[in-house]
Structure 1
């Protein structure tokens, strides 16, 4: 969004009088702030009412410079190198220097460590290992290792954003740890994105912490990502967003359909970790389309659909596809907002296939079936999202809508963030039939506001804004007093 939008659209002619009451944290005093807000010709988009039309955030100079550094040739080289390990099956050999998951693990660690060396100590890389005892698709005790690069934030280090790709692969038979399973699309493509972003981000200072993890055990049952999520939970970090990049290697379906400028983002509605009481409350007051993951998905569209990425984000209102799932589910289970990036059209003839010839045609998940320009554009989407999240204030906490009074206005409350460059907050709202936020009301550095709109007729949200105009994801308020 433009800079003028942090304070509104300038002078307006009064056609409706709206009163906002605010309580500033600095003084803990409640004051009445009368504002005259009415629609003008410039505000014609969306419904009539207080505020100005919601607009996407435009990439600033720093973000554009970051995205220009993403290298298509490096991404291709990573995919081809990972495919060259023959198989990266979780049950394959871990002590072979040339073939198998152990060789791939060591190569990823070496590359990420080289990137971290240019970070001045801000980025660290670790091999995060544990022994998985026999379980589903794990017939014998097996060491599972994630390769994790962490760029520590210098302002809000405990606020964390995560992206993953899984570096394990599989053949048609998920228990076949011997046959070639190059896994170029599934999921060397996702690993290539996080590795290239690690290289680009290593030389930059991030306000929040960014975790870029190549995880193992996905094909056997999300084992590596589940361990990563539990480790972050045990450490008490505040994960405010996570994305799995899984099968992002091509936009071409098995029938030849192509959509090279779109990426799907799966985002669940009612949270996986929601209690029955919370689910009952949600059903009684609405907000089925307003889970933290859906707000995160709206943020993705807001910051990533622009000329700098050249991509359109197709948000899919589901946790994942039928019969399948990816590593974002491990984070959803811990109660964190998460989503899955994946290509718009899948070619099942080349996924999870042994490398073989059929009627003279070669099948298998090989680099030859990847579109490296497409993977690069998906990397730009990830880069725009990660950097925009990490440089903005955190999502407001404790957002509530007062529901103890029968009134035709709406009072919202939230907790003030502790970011030193926090400028204030914006209330967003939309009609109940609208999928996206439609209007924005700048309310300043306050923690309470009363809007002359009925909470029965529209949905509200709150987001934070810093002095540079970076905006957080929206917090959807819960009923409260």
Structure 2
């Protein structure tokens, strides 16, 4: 279906301004209303756009891309590329064919933008591996570089002549910054409300005077929910010292709660966990990645994939496991997951999976994506070999993540078909690239109980600094989530993906921080030890009766051996542990007002509480 652009005047029929093929898509109309930009849908042809004169309907077609009007509408800029030469162009809106070259070179250019008065142009340029932001005057002089960050800096736009907005990172998670066009001074524009939570941003729009910016973002870190927030930032206002102090005090109180809760949770097994994680070896972690990198691309269509699978099989076997290949059906190649199992001593039917994908994209050796996650998985398997836990732990090296999650989906399909009781899953993906000396990474979760345990594991048993986001999109965690629901945790760079090596031939082992990978392995081990040693979440929590502020609640008895009683907690949202009580059986009577949230966890004979609670709110249909 071909789409065209029409002009409509009140009381008159719409008049086509473009005709024929290909399809055209309107981009913007300049502020004066005298000209409009459109692009053509011509995937097999060099990029081309058009300028329409709204006065007479005439169209000028230009070979180029990413056109943009100045704020006053008098000029436009665009990028032209031919024979390996990239040119930044500027032209009068009234006579777009009369274009001048602002700069030319072999380095790729993109996303040009003009200042409101048209006297300056900003653009992104790929100097080596990543996009950087530059500014140049409209006569082609005084070019200066605004950014030096190794992460991608993209999509500049002028708010005023002196101030720009730019975004950093990969499109699935970008963060906005303000830049002084003269000095390059940078200011973070948008913040989340907690110390730990990552807030991905997606779209931006600003007022004509540049004082107001609208931002579409997941400020709560929940990228799974389809709901997103729209936030207004007023650049004429500042946060007062007192307002900042209040925010910091709230954040400090929450951080103390997180740490105290984590210390209490791990207390019964902390000695065993510490003895296990202290055996982690940076040298071994490097050796795993070095071996995987030697196979080149591990895409399912390349020989390196099967060689990597054989290496993983033999490595698991060297740790004392009896690994298995799990064939994954594909149309054009043979590939397999590699699975190793540590059978549980007390609750073997409860299964926790630790996974990473070992394949890569076709044209990359995949050091970070995902030899890094595979190395952490292997080290976790080594550390736990000979140390069985109460529940069963499965170590799963998945193939085909880069080919549509085919390995993880096959694993989950078989698990469901065989009634495998997967109670929790940790999936690590892209954990090794570090922008600086900070050993930090992001917990990607669907289950808040696992999230808090991973924070506690990082704080108590590693040097890792952890943030968090509710995220599964495009990762093997999606396969678990689709079939088993909210059972997922794990660590990975998403949604904070800043690596310029992502899916590139230069995703090499020398870009990986081996200490970072080793610390992730420690956190993974500490997390799965706690999960496998604790009661799983209870089922069937319900309010049997609620009258005059008195609630009678019940739940299904835990079928797990070793459960001795239940911890019932209740309070307002955000303070669920205001009141607590231990009960011996699967029921309790509580006096509480409507709106109170009640949570219940099983407690075992070691004193370990269930790693997640069942929750219900009084007054909502009960």
Match of 2:539 in 1: 397
Structure-1 separation of matches of 2:307 and 2:453 = 37
SS in 2 for 1:377: helix
| Structure 1 residue 58: Cα displacement | 3.1
Q: In the alignment, is residue 115 of structure 1 matched against residue 254 of structure 2?
A: no
Which secondary structure does the structure 2 equivalent of 1:64 belong to? helix
Name 1:313's counterpart in structure 2.
Answer: 466
Task: Determine the C-alpha separation between the residues in 1 that align with 2:285 and 2:312.
Answer: 13
- Normalized per residue, which structure has more strand? 2
List aligned pairs for 1:29-428, cutoff 5 A: 56=263, 57-59=265-267, 60-93=270-303, 100-116=304-320, 123-133=321-331, 141-170=332-361, 177=362, 179=363, 181-252=364-435, 259-260=438-439, 262-268=440-446, 293-301=447-455, 303-316=456-469, 318-320=470-472, 325-336=474-485, 337-343=487-493, 345-354=496-505, 364-402=506-544, 405-428=546-569
Distance (whole Å) between structure 2 residues aligned to residue 71 and residue 266 of structure 1: 24
Partners of 1:428 and 1:54 in 2: CA distance: 14
Cα offsets for 1:372-410 (capped at 9, x unmatched): 1111111111111100011112221222234x5344233
Distance 1:216 1:457, change over 3 A: same
Contact 1:159 1:239 in 2 (8 A): yes
Corresponding residue for residue 477 of structure 1: 615
CA contact (8 A) 2:306 2:335 kept: no
Structure 1: how far apart are the matches of 2:578 and 2:281?
37
Q: Deviations over 1:299-321 (max 9, x none)?
A: 333x41433223343221x334x
What is the match of residue 445 of structure 1?
584
Count of aligned positions: 357
Query: 3-state DSSP class of the match of 2:326?
Result: strand
Structure 2, unaligned runs of 5 or more: 1-252, 255-259
Aligned position for 1:23: none
1:83 to partner: Cα distance: 1.0
CA distance in 1, matches of 2:381, 2:272: 16
- Rounded to whole Å, the distance in 2 between the matches of 1:70 and 1:399 is 40
Q: Normalized against structure 2, the TM-score is what?
A: 0.54
Relative to structure 1, is the Cα distance of residues 437 and 327 closer, same or farther in structure 2, using a 3 angstrom cutoff? farther
Q: Distance in 1 between matches of 2:551 and 2:441?
A: 37
Let me know the Cα RMSD of the aligned residues: 2.3
Note closer, same or farther for the CA distance 1:110–1:305 as it changes in structure 2 (3 Å cut): closer
- Contact 1:112–1:149 (8 Å) recurs in 2: yes
Residues 146, 449 of structure 1: CA spacing in aligned structure 2 closer, same or farther, 3 A cutoff? same
Contact 1:249/1:371 (CA < 8 Å) preserved in 2? yes
Query: How far does residue 142 in structure 1 lie from its aligned partner after superposition?
Result: 2.6
Q: Retained in 2: the 8 A contact 1:54–1:439?
A: no
From the CA coordinates, give the structure whose radius of gyration is larger: 2
